[in-house]
Amino acid sequence: MPTNPTLTATSLRAASMRPLQSCLLALVVAATTGCGATPPAWFRSNMVEATKQKLTPDQERQVATVLLAMFGTPDDPVAPPETGLDVAKLQLAAGPVRSDIVGRKNGLYREHCAHCHGVTGDALGPTAAFLNPYPRDYRPGVFKFKSTERADKPTHADLVRILENGIPGTSMPSFALLSETQVDALVEYVKYLSIRGETEINLMRAFFELDDEAEGKLPETREFLVGEVLEPVAEKWKAAADALIPVPEIPADLDLEASIAKGRELFYGDKANCVKCHGPTGLGDGQANDYDDWNKSIVEWKKELGGADDASWLSRAKQVLTGDALEPRTIPPRNLRMGIYRGGRRPIDIYYRVHAGINGAPMPAAKGTISPEDIWHIVNYVRSLPYTLDGELGADRPALVRDRF
């Protein structure tokens, strides 16, 4: 809503002196600035990607036009059938916050998520810059806490769990108080923003591969736009349900003490090498200067810019880095003595984390190096860490709550 700071300030000053007059003035201000009428929301372009790919303004417009035709607007979302998305659910989550004719709440995403994750799902909402870790940018289509193999998308149920539990130890809240239908609609909307965002990135990267004959224009054929750009993204979401991590049962006669001891050995051993990052004490004080993928892409781009000699592009890039990206932050390995697990605290959640690593983060997968039985031993050891303080922490180590991330 456009506001006029001078008028507002004047009316505030008047308010302390002449109540009636100031009231009238406030009404005039409201009438002239159109209080209550919000302009339609719009999706922000992925300016970091556009600038990296050196797109011309005309090429940026081409991408925006294709995206508008495929996905509609934040107030009126549509989805091509290839995405498998349910438009009725999207409409419940999309648009401004309002009640419909039967009193049902609409605009759930903007009510509950957009101030952190942004209207576009680019994690550039007004609250984002103040948070550590930053909210997730859905556009690269990478998710961390899920029951599927590392490179695969999360299942619908994984995202429902995230909304129900929130992400402990971060600012991502739990939405357990929302109804099942509302959570379901929000999950569908996260997928929509993610598919849209990944499609945008694919389109922006496609210019690079055009031959001279194309004259810098993307083909407008269905074969290209749907077959080559959209479908590969949509297919990955559909395949998630078949990519579940297989989990062997824990033997009923498992000796927990022995399992923890074996897990400890593996934790410090060369193969699993958890100690490299989580540190000899498990406080997360090993290698701590790495970034997750979202932050790393900005760090790397900044490095690249150092060698650039095109002054006008460089000044545009600098502008984009200030307006469309947040200052990169490192992702410290977790303090395993805290007993706070972002991806969930059930033994099976920790099994998933160790098996597949954490997608988008430096934590590697143990899959392939460590047998499933041994992964269970490691899980048991990890779960024992918050309770074993007897002399294992060196006297020179800071207190347990060192990790505030």
Binding footprint of ligand HEC on the chain (CB under 6 A): 112-113, 116-117, 127, 131, 133, 135-136, 143-146, 159, 162-163, 167, 170-173, 175, 186, 190, 272-274, 276-278, 287, 292, 331, 333-334, 336, 341-343, 350, 353-354, 358, 361-364, 366, 378, 382
Tokens 């697990």 belong to which residue?
A: 341
The distance of closest approach from Cβ of residue 361 to ligand HEC in the complex, given in angstroms and rounded to an integer, is 4
Task: Return the number of the residue (25 or 172) whose C-beta is nearest ligand HEC.
Answer: 172
DSSP code string of 109-138: HHHHTHHHH-TTSSS-STTGGG-SSPPP--
Instruction: Record the tokens describing residue 161, joined without a space.
Output: 């769990």
The distance of closest approach from Cβ of residue 330 to ligand HEC in the complex, given in angstroms and rounded to an integer, is 9
The distance of closest approach from Cβ of residue 384 to ligand HEC in the complex, given in angstroms and rounded to an integer, is 12
The distance of closest approach from Cβ of residue 47 to ligand HEC in the complex, given in angstroms and rounded to an integer, is 22
Task: Return the number of the residue (53 or 349) whose C-beta is nearest ligand HEC.
Answer: 349
Task: Return the number of the residue (163 or 321) whose C-beta is nearest ligand HEC.
Answer: 163
DSSP code string of 250-300: PPTT--HHHHHHHHHHHHHSTTT-THHHH-TTSSS-SS-----HHHHHHHH
Task: Return the number of the residue (207 or 267) whose C-beta is nearest ligand HEC.
Answer: 267
* 364 close to 317: Cβ distance less than 8 angstroms: no
The distance of closest approach from Cβ of residue 268 to ligand HEC in the complex, given in angstroms and rounded to an integer, is 10
Write the DSSP symbol of residue 151.
T
The distance of closest approach from Cβ of residue 138 to ligand HEC in the complex, given in angstroms and rounded to an integer, is 7
Task: Return the number of the residue (33 or 171) whose C-beta is nearest ligand HEC.
Answer: 171
* 209 close to 53: Cβ distance less than 8 angstroms: no
Q: What residues have CB less than 8 Å from 320, skipping those under 6 apart?
A: 47, 48, 51
Measured between alpha carbons, how far is 367 from 40 in angstroms, rounded to an integer? Answer: 47
The distance of closest approach from Cβ of residue 151 to ligand HEC in the complex, given in angstroms and rounded to an integer, is 14
Q: Among candidates 77, 72, 71, 70, which has minimal Cα distance to 92?
A: 77
The distance of closest approach from Cβ of residue 129 to ligand HEC in the complex, given in angstroms and rounded to an integer, is 11
Task: Return the number of the residue (230 or 366) whose C-beta is nearest ligand HEC.
Answer: 366
Instruction: Record the tokens describing residue 165, joined without a space.
Output: 């539990």
Instruction: Record the tokens describing residue 368, joined without a space.
Output: 């392939």
Task: Return the number of the residue (134 or 207) whose C-beta is nearest ligand HEC.
Answer: 134
Task: Return the number of the residue (192 or 207) whose C-beta is nearest ligand HEC.
Answer: 192
In Å, what is the CA distance from 44 to each residue of 40, 111, 139, 232? 13, 18, 11, 23
